[in-house]
């Protein structure tokens, strides 16, 4: 077999009929086979399905059905613009939405299992439409990722079982065709659908690339490549042409949202380069991660994590914060799924900059009440500068009240009140 090529298209690249045409055009630029094309749900469909889950969990089934109607209308409009004879593909989508309807009538599932069942339909629908459309111009096969990406049953953040997944992917991928597969989803050994965590389709791309020993993984984006900061937040950003794997792992860890944090590891293991390219300008160079020791150009990187909270725990009797305190706090965090982005302790206080999850944080606060004196500062953000220079730091912190600061020779981080 010639070496496979893996592409990934996110929600923004399949948000309407024109963007689907563009995806087909980009696929048409490449003749190498097998090609695996990982696709996310269209536009903001995953958010819409999450709202259905919320309605389901509050037993607001009428509202849930209204939302299903809106999802149907959104996809039907795209289908009608793409196909001259849309009836068959519309009925495919209808069938999938009927499954969701039937699903919300079932009440015997845990929240996580219901979430994955409902939400994973976004990718099933988008790939049905895209496979049908791409199939008009090139031999294409729709593949069911639930038969390919095998996971454990940690719903909403399932872990890939590599051996079974490799086996299934190698067995089922059609070597002569474009294989359209769903990102973000998988299934347990008994076939129950799971998801890999929000924005998980990049990671799915890496899973396929790894299991197939692909030439490369290309993630097609609405930006020209990886910049050294989010241009919506930072001024004068620079495109990075090449970046070592390790550097990309670090940036993803600190929250560079351009790549899902788990994406790089599997690629690095097999030395498979990751290209980030523009779906608006597909022949432009983009960014390549891997295969180099140093970045070009070597510039500082800026990462802002919003929606943070600063949780301060003080011992009630002014005893020193000791290892046993920290270990019980972290145990609780791990059990409840609290994401700690920065930690610092002083003699009697432990400070945690955490993701301000509206459900998890109050729960954890409840569990810690009585054990510590608690203070929660909300409306907080975390700025990380990697390879910082004095002038960057001064510019970015000017006029801001710093709640917490931490530095190593490579990285400086600031917790601020949100402006
Ligand atoms: N559709 C999923 C999400 O929006 C997965 C992805 O886009 O990567 O989170
Ligand atoms: Mg998405």
Q: Ligand 1, closest atom to CA 199?
A: 8
Q: Ligand 1, closest atom to CA 11?
A: 7
Judge contact between 238 and 228, C-beta under 8 A.
yes
Residue 153 buriedness (CB in 10 A; 0-12 / 13-18 / 19+)? middle
Report CA-CA distances (Å) from 215 to 20, 247, 285: 25, 21, 17
- Residue 75's CB is within 10 A of a number of other CB atoms, namely 24
C-alpha to C-alpha distance for 367 and 369, rounded to whole angstroms: 6
Structural domains for the chain: 5-215 (3.40.1160.10), 301-417 (3.30.2130.10)
Ligand 1 centroid from CA 42, angstroms: 9
Look at residue 350 in the predicted model and tell me its pLDDT. Answer: 95
What residues pair up with 350 in beta bridges, in sequence order? Answer: 313, 345
- Residue 137's CB is within 10 A of a number of other CB atoms, namely 12
In the chain (419 residues long), the average pLDDT of successive 10-residue segments reads 91 98 98 97 98 94 97 98 98 98 84 96 98 98 98 96 98 98 98 96 98 97 92 91 94 82 93 97 96 95 96 92 93 94 94 94 95 96 95 93 94 94
Ligand 1 is surrounded, with C-beta below 6 A, by 10-11, 40-41, 46, 122, 183-184, 198-201
Whether omega before 297 lies within 30 degrees of 0, making that bond cis, reads: yes
C-alpha to C-alpha distance for 263 and 215, rounded to whole angstroms: 16
C-alpha to C-alpha distance for 170 and 186, rounded to whole angstroms: 16
- Ion ligand 2, residue ranges at CB < 5 A: 11, 40, 46
Ligand 1 centroid from CA 98, angstroms: 21
Q: Ligand 1, closest atom to CA 198?
A: 9
pTM of the model: 0.88
Q: Whose CA is nearest to atom 5 of ligand 1?
A: 199
Ligand 1 centroid from CA 131, angstroms: 18
Ligand 2 centroid from CA 355, angstroms: 20
- Ligand with the closest atom to the CA of 197: 1
Q: Determine the number of helices (DSSP H) and then strands (DSSP E) in the chain.
A: 13, 18
C-alpha to C-alpha distance for 65 and 77, rounded to whole angstroms: 18
Look at residue 417 in the predicted model and tell me its pLDDT. Answer: 94
Report CA-CA distances (Å) from 22 to 28, 133, 137, 278: 10, 11, 13, 11
C-alpha to C-alpha distance for 309 and 307, rounded to whole angstroms: 7
Q: Whose CA is nearest to atom 3 of ligand 1?
A: 199
Ligand 1 centroid from CA 349, angstroms: 38
């Amino acid at each position: 077999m010639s070496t496979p090529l893996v592409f990934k298209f996110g929600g923004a690249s399949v948000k309407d009929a024109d963007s689907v045409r563009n995806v087909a055009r980009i696929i048409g630029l490449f003749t190498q086979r097998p090609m695996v094309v990982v696709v996310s749900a269209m536009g903001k469909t995953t958010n819409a399905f999450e709202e259905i889950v919320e309605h389901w969990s509050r037993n607001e089934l009428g509202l849930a059905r209204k939302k299903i109607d809106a999802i149907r209308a959104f996809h039907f409009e795209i289908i009608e613009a793409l196909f001259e004879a849309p009836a068959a593909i519309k009925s495919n989508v209808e069938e999938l939405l009927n499954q969701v309807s039937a699903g919300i009538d079932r009440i015997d599932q845990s929240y996580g299992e219901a979430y994955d069942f409902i939400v994973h339909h976004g990718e099933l629908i988008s790939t049905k439409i895209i496979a049908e459309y791409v199939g008009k111009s090139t031999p294409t096969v729709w593949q069911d990722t639930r038969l390919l990406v095998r996971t454990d049953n940690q719903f909403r953040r399932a872990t890939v079982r590599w051996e079974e997944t490799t086996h299934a992917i190698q067995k089922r991928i059609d070597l002569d065709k474009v294989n359209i597969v769903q990102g973000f989803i998988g299934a347990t050994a008994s076939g129950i659908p799971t998801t890999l965590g929000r924005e998980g389709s990049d990671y799915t791309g890496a899973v396929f690339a790894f299991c197939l020993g692909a030439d490369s993984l290309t993630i097609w984006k609405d930006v020209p490549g990886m910049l050294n900061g989010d241009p919506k937040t930072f001024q004068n950003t620079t495109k990075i042409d090449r970046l070592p794997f390790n550097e990309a792992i670090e940036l993803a860890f600190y929250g560079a949202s351009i790549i899902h944090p788990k994406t790089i590891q599997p690629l690095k293991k097999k030395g498979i380069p990751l290209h980030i390219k523009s779906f608006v300008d597909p022949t432009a160079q983009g960014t390549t991660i891997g295969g180099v020791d140093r970045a070009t150009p070597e510039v500082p990187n800026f990462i802002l994590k919003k929606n943070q909270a600063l949780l301060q725990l003080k011992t009630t009797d002014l005893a020193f914060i000791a290892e046993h305190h920290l270990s019980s706090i972290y145990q609780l965090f791990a059990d409840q799924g609290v994401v700690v982005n920065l930690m610092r302790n002083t003699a009697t206080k432990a400070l945690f900059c955490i993701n301000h999850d509206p459900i998890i944080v109050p729960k954890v606060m409840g569990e810690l009440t009585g054990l510590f004196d608690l203070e929660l500062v909300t409306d907080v953000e975390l700025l990380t500068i990697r390879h910082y220079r004095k002038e960057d730091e001064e510019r970015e912190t000017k006029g801001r009240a710093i709640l917490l600061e931490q530095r190593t020779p490579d990285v400086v981080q600031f917790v601020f009140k949100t402006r």
